[in-house]
Structure 1
Amino acid sequence: MSNISAPNSSLVLVQKAVKQLRLEASMRRIKVSQAAAELKTFCLQNAQKDPLLTGVPSSDNPFRPPKSCILL
């Protein structure tokens, strides 16, 4: 019984591989230099909104250390 299902599973794997290769071959490609230029432009346009570059105000930071209370 395992001899009968082995060719079928092999065929299914090959069909999946062919489908994936066709998908990848049909994708629109651009040059790396163009992609890098677009990425640089995007980063520069959004730099002022990036909390890793501008920092997070302490009032909005959920990870700030808790304030300690001293009761007198």
Structure 2
Amino acid sequence: MSNNSASNSSLALAQKAVKQLRLEASVRRIKVSQASAELKNFCLQNANKDPLLMGVPSSDNPFRPPKSCVLL
């Protein structure tokens, strides 16, 4: 009985592996050169919106240093 259970378990694992391999085989692939060119174009088009490149205005920066308070 346990041999039958092990056989069913092994069959289920094999079916799961085949399903995963079929899924991966159906994924549309593109050349690395095309992907890198598209990534480069995307980065250049959105560079003006990137806060790491353009900086964050101090009024919008939630991490700006706190202002000191002076009482006169």
* TM-score, with structure 1 as normaliser: 0.86
* Uncovered stretches (5+) of structure 1, i.e. residues with no partner: none
* Residue in structure 2 matched with residue 65 of structure 1 by the alignment: 65
Task: Give ranges in structure 2 of 5+ residues lacking alignment.
Answer: none
Aligned to 1:46: 46
Mapped partners of 1:2, 1:70: distance in 2: 79
- Residue 55 of structure 2 corresponds to 55
User: What is the number of equivalent residue pairs in this alignment?
Assistant: 72
Give secondary structure in 1 for the equivalent of 2:35: helix
Alpha carbon RMSD of aligned pairs, Å? 1.5
1:18 maps to 18
1:40-67 CA deviation, whole Å, 9 max, x = no partner?
A: 1111011011111101001000111111
Residue 68 of structure 1 and its aligned partner are, at CA, apart by 1.4
Deviation of 1:17 (Å): 1.3
Moved over 6 A (4+): none
Sequence identity of aligned pairs in percent? Answer: 86
